[in-house]
Structure 1
Amino acid sequence: MNPHMPMTSNESDTPVLLVATQAPLDVLHCQAAARFLAGTQMMESLASLDISQAKGADVQQLALAAALLLRDGCDVMDVLGRRIRARG
């Protein structure tokens, strides 16, 4: 496995955001969990909003930020899963 995997959320042909694929498993797990928690909290905040009072652009920006966090968490979990399977 390449020592650095580009994250899905890179917006250009030159990846800037990378996952350190050789990081300790507990560190990978901690980083993924932090992003899942932050994304979940953002979505829970959206769910509790009175949508009739919310501005469409604000809701869209919050949803995009949550999606980026969740996608980053998925990318890290992908590396974690590959590493665990390779050990077995």
Structure 2
Amino acid sequence: MPVIDEIRTRLDAAFDPRALDVRDDSAQHAGHSGAPAGGESHFSVTIRADAFGEMSRLQRHRAIHAALGPELVARIHALALDVDG
């Protein structure tokens, strides 16, 4: 399964978001240090979910990383997050 689909599936299952947009920005970073030739390394996520309502920004980011899991996070070089409750 492509990384972008794994991100969508895991975040959807964990947070039941009202809005979720996951973008693969890897092409913009081709040739940069840490960017693999095959892409699937740089992603941007915009997510809106009630689950984030009482969380601080740090707690929201930690919750997303936990939902993605260490094995998936380890395969991602950069993850930009825009999170709101």
* TM-score where L is the length of structure 2: 0.28
More strand per residue: 2
Is the radius of gyration larger for structure 1 or structure 2? 1
More helix per residue: 1
